[in-house]
Amino acid sequence: MKYPILTIVVPCFNEEEVFKETAKQLSSVLKNLEEQTFIDSKSKILFVDDGSSDGTWSLIEEESSLNDYVTGIKLSRNVGHQNALLAGLETAKNMSDCVISIDADLQDDISVIKDFIVKYHEGYDIVYGVRKRRETDTFFKRSTARGFYRLMRKMGIHLIPDHADFRLMSKRALDELSHYQEANLFLRGIVPLIGFKSAKVMYDRKERFAGTSKYPLKKMLSFAFDGITSFSVTPIRLVTLIGAFSSLLSICAAGYAFIQELLGHTESGWTSLMISIWLIGGLQLMGIGLIGEYIGKIFNETKRRPKYAIETDLYSHEKASLPHQKQGVFEVEKW
């Protein structure tokens, strides 16, 4: 009986403080799954060093020489979390039956990885890890997160609420993902577009084991804005509506001024003039800036530059059998 080869992809950027514990815990998960005959012994943990400036890559190389489960790739420079994650997925897909992506900070509950694999054997191509609750977040973060998901839904963008990048994807789903070639990468929006059979696994998110978050407020807002502008033209339509509303107000103001002229009540008004100029000028600058954002994205797309470059590859050079093409090979008794 054949068992699937699993690769756990872990993007890393300056994760020196947490790396040892992450490698230890994930190795333990793979060992247990292998002993329970859920996965093949060739399963791996693929750490992706996203241009770290600390000793992350040295730790990956050291752990790889000591631990058969651990391997890695080193990118030539920092390309951002989403591109680093894509580098890991594309590296692993040709030598795996399924791939699980997870962050290095151990906030995602690794105990549910077994549930992911069970869903995979039930025939699901994509399994999303979804948070049960957000009580550990601050009120501001919790409120903004909920507002973001509502906004995306109203704009017609299908996201999985309370899901980040903790997910399982089959080889078939990864092959389909490779057809999406946009430079403005937002995997949380792209993966649901694939449309294959999917499931959710609920879990409680933990506190970060060590180190600091790589997503401060400024970066989170930028990430959210990139997601919106990468999937929807609604913001431009909104500016158009604001412009139309402003034009309507201007017509009303002109009518009022004309009536005042007929009644002989007109007098110069510096304040109203300045407010009008500032309002219209602000709206114009906002519209130009938003259009410029979309033009910038078009510019990036047309250049077709590679999203990443791999400097060192420990994974692809290792021997691995061809991935199995069939899912659902387990019998119920094996569970």
Question: What would the pLDDT profile of 134-160 be if each residue is shown by its tens digit?
Answer: 666 666 666 776 777 777 777 777 778
**Rounded to an integer, what distance in angstroms lies between the CA atom of residue 325 and that of residue 145?**
38
- Whether the predicted pLDDT of 325 surpasses 50: no
* Single pTM value for the model: 0.73
| pLDDT at residue number 3 | 86
pLDDT digits (tens, 9 = 90+) for 23-78: 999 999 999 999 998 999 999 999 999 999 999 999 999 999 999 999 999 999 99
Query: pLDDT averaged over the chain?
Result: 80
The vertex-171 CA angle with 170 and 177, nearest 5°, equals 90
- Rounded to the nearest 10 degrees, the angle between the axes of helix 113-121 and helix 16-35 is 40
The helix/strand/coil state of 178 is coil
The vertex-119 CA angle with 3 and 320, nearest 5°, equals 30
pLDDT digits (tens, 9 = 90+) for 80-106: 899 999 999 999 998 899 999 999 988
| pLDDT at residue number 124 | 94
